[in-house]
Amino acid sequence: MSYSSELKAHLQTLGFRRECCMLACSAGYEAEKLDAVCERCVGSYLRGVFFRFGYLSPPEKDSMLTFAFPSEAFADYVQGVLTDVGIPAKRGHRRGKILLYLKRSDDVSDLLSLMGATRFSLHRMEVQVDKQVREELNRKCNAETANLARTANAAAEQLTAIRRLEDTKKLGTLPEELQEAAALRLANPEASLEELRRLAGTPVSRSGFNHRLQKLTKLAEGLEDV
């Protein structure tokens, strides 16, 4: 059984507190206009419309509730009913049918609650929250991985530059702070800038220590003079 069919089966088990609500549900199913008597009639009416014309995608996928109508006039009417209860529906066409669809998860949840499917509404909200948390964790993990990669590449470039300065006997001629930066990087090839600057003999900012390492790289490439 599909998720949408499961929802429809659940809605069929729900009773009606008043006869007017049962008649409203029947009117929605038969594509007739709503004759609302009580405040619950609109939800019952939309329940009937959904029984016959609606489809709901599983919550694990992109949130989407769709109505497919053969008549544009009835699509206009249902869209007006939805607008009146604060649920905006977008229009579309597919295979000769007029579509009304909801893509915002809040709108889908509101309609489910209005139709009486509170359990499904709460479940979808839980799935959406879990999905957002996973996406945020993945985003942070990807950002951290990218930062680590950039740090590793920079460190490798710095080590190559320092060894070149050593091989050409230039390292010993550099100012003391540059020699210290080179020694710290050689002794701690995987350390971050923050870790290296804390190891420095004299206080220096993170950007200041990074400037020293960049200076070493440029000197090794012959781009700068001491």
Closest C-alpha among 51, 50, 52, 69 to residue 108: 50
Residue 112 and residue 156 share a domain = no
Q: What is the band of 3 on the pLDDT scale with cuts at 50, 70, 90?
A: confident
Residue 12 and residue 71 share a domain = yes
Query: Considering the domain boundaries, does residue 165 fall inside one?
Result: yes
pLDDT at position 190 over 80: yes
Closest C-alpha among 74, 76, 53, 77 to residue 4: 53
Domain boundary among 94, 116, 138: 116
Residue 156 and residue 67 share a domain = no
Residue 37 and residue 85 share a domain = yes
Residue 18 and residue 70 share a domain = yes
CA–CA distance, 47 with 42 (Å, rounded to integer):
8
Q: What is the pLDDT of residue 151?
A: 82
Residue 160 and residue 92 share a domain = no
Residue 108 and residue 192 share a domain = no
Query: Considering the domain boundaries, does residue 163 fall inside one?
Result: yes
Which CATH number goes with the domain that contains 46?
A: 3.10.28.10
- Mean pLDDT check: name the lowest of 28-42, 52-66, 68-82, 186-200: 52-66
Which SS3 state, helix, strand or coil, does residue 174 take? coil
Residue 180 and residue 110 share a domain = no
CA–CA distance, 120 with 25 (Å, rounded to integer):
19
Residue range of the domain that includes 61: 3-116
Q: What is the pLDDT of residue 223?
A: 54
Q: What is the pLDDT of residue 224?
A: 56
Domain boundary among 116, 141, 173: 116
Angle at 62 between CA 56 and CA 66, to 5 degrees: 30
Q: How many domains does the chain have?
A: 2
Query: What is the biggest distance separating any 2 CA atoms in the chain, rounded to whole angstroms?
Result: 97
Which residues are CB-neighbours of 115 under 8 A, at least 6 positions away? Answer: 11, 43, 44, 46, 47, 50
Residue 202 and residue 156 share a domain = yes
Alpha helices in the chain (DSSP H): 3-12, 19-29, 41-53, 72-84, 105-115, 118-167, 176-187, 193-199, 206-220
Give the Cβ contact number of residue 177 at 10 Å: 17
Residue 7 and residue 112 share a domain = yes
85-131 pLDDT tens trace: 999 999 998 888 999 999 888 898 899 999 888 887 667 667 676 67
Query: Considering the domain boundaries, does residue 201 fall inside one?
Result: yes
Higher confidence at residue 158 or residue 128?
158
CA–CA distance, 208 with 119 (Å, rounded to integer):
58
Residue 167 and residue 89 share a domain = no
CA–CA distance, 66 with 81 (Å, rounded to integer):
15
36-57 pLDDT tens trace: 889 899 999 999 999 999 998 8
Query: Considering the domain boundaries, does residue 142 fall inside one?
Result: no
Residue 112 and residue 26 share a domain = yes
Domain boundary among 96, 116, 136: 116
